[in-house]
Structure 1
Amino acid sequence: MITTRGGDGGETSLGDGSRVRKDALRVETYGTVDEVNAVLGLLRLHLDPEADAMVARIQNDLFDLGADLCVPGAAGGRLRVTAAQCLRLEQEVAAMNAHIPPLRSFVLPGGSAAAAHAHLARTVARRAERLVVALAAVEEVNAEAVRYLNRLSDHLFVLARRCNDNGARDVTWVPGRG
């Protein structure tokens, strides 16, 4: 059943069954990870099959990350984001970046629809990363969660450049132009 009425009082259940306010930092954190995932769903509408497959894997990873973040403490053998998932992102970034010329200016979000959506996802991923760091300052958090989101924002930046004809259609910053 979708409608349980359990949250009508402003509380929700964490993965360990404990109840917290819906504005708790942990809930805000995994809610923002869910927001990244939703933006990636929009991005996928504009991608070629190879990029779509990468982003589909990332969406699955983000559910793993949400499951990791929704359970406070060590919690034994729960699902966790792993170093292998971070490594896969690094490898994909390196493979994409091998075909893209080095930057000569800051890149503005835009160019193609796919690139714009990738940049939007990147900024939401950065917000999620900041929230995980804030949560880790007050509660135990899997260190791979921060690493994963940091790698993800890099991945989305390079993917945006790939979506702009490997950087040829990047929109670049021109200082002082208004």
Structure 2
Amino acid sequence: MKLYTKTGDGGTTGLYGADRVSKANIRVEAYGTVDELNSAIGVARAHGPSAEMDADLEYLQNALFDVGADLATRSGTTYEKKISRMDEQDTAFIEAMIDRYQEGAPPFTGFVHPGGTPVAASLHVARTVARRAEREVIRLLHEEDANAHVQVYLNRLSDLLFVMARAANQAAGIGEHAWLVKGRR
């Protein structure tokens, strides 16, 4: 099987089990940003996080494929039965992970500069991509029928990536740099 099909050469793509839409369609933008998020997490993994964090990041990458499939599949299609929709349980699992990583992070006192170790800096980038994906999903929800649980999931995921970055820096003995309000140097 060839990787290229040439079906997208005209600027359209097929939704899972549905019609073809513009590659600039809000639904495509949403799941495309989720794909970008998955890649950003892959970069963080390439920087060599702890074994526990790497396993959690791999779990998240797999879950993001489910998120992408959820977004790429319109309600009411026959293909809907072939995917797993995100739900409250997925969000609860992320919340439990946040609680676990918060134990290994310093107390939160305010905004911190993204950075630190390569793992932490990459997780901060992934966090910002998660926030953008969430905004794309919100736009989608305003225009079309989609699973609202995806937006909540992405919101929690960005929180998780933030606390994972802080925990990675803490484990490496790297301190955080707090935001200094203009004139308070």
- Range into which the TM-score falls when normalised by the shorter chain: over 0.9
- 1:79 positional shift: 2.2
**C-alpha distance in structure 1 between counterparts of 2:105 and 2:13, whole Å:** 45
Give unpaired runs (5+ residues) of structure 2.
none
Are residues 1:50 and 2:52 paired?
yes
Aligned to 2:69: 67
**C-alpha distance in structure 1 between counterparts of 2:52 and 2:123, whole Å:** 15
Indicate the SS of the match to 1:61: helix
CA contact (8 A) 2:27 2:140 kept: yes
Letter in 2 for 1:119: H
Are residues 1:22 and 2:27 paired?
no
Indicate the SS of the match to 1:20: strand
TM-score, normalisation: structure 2: 0.90
- 1:45 positional shift: 1.7
RMSD: 1.6
**C-alpha distance in structure 1 between counterparts of 2:145 and 2:102, whole Å:** 34
Are residues 1:110 and 2:125 paired?
no
Which moves more between the two structures, 137-146 or 167-176? 167-176
Are residues 1:85 and 2:85 paired?
no
Letter in 2 for 1:69: L
- 1:168 positional shift: 5.2
CA contact (8 A) 2:116 2:174 kept: no
- 1:160 pairs with one of 165, 171, 174: 165
- 1:139 positional shift: 0.8
Give unpaired runs (5+ residues) of structure 1.
none
- Once the two structures are aligned, what percentage of the paired residues are identical? 43
Sort the Cα spacing of 1:74 and 1:144 in 2 relative to 1 into closer, same or farther, 3 A: farther
C-alpha deviations, 1:80-109, integer Å up to 9, x for none?
123222111100100111232322231111
Are residues 1:97 and 2:70 paired?
no
C-alpha deviations, 1:44-100, integer Å up to 9, x for none?
122110000111000000000000000122435332123222111100100111232
C-alpha deviations, 1:18-49, integer Å up to 9, x for none?
10011100001100000000000000122110
**C-alpha distance in structure 1 between counterparts of 2:104 and 2:25, whole Å:** 43
Indicate the SS of the match to 1:105: coil
Letter in 1 for 2:182: G
**C-alpha distance in structure 1 between counterparts of 2:34 and 2:50, whole Å:** 24
TM-score, normalisation: structure 1: 0.94
Aligned to 1:171: 177
Query: How many pairs does the alignment contain?
Result: 178
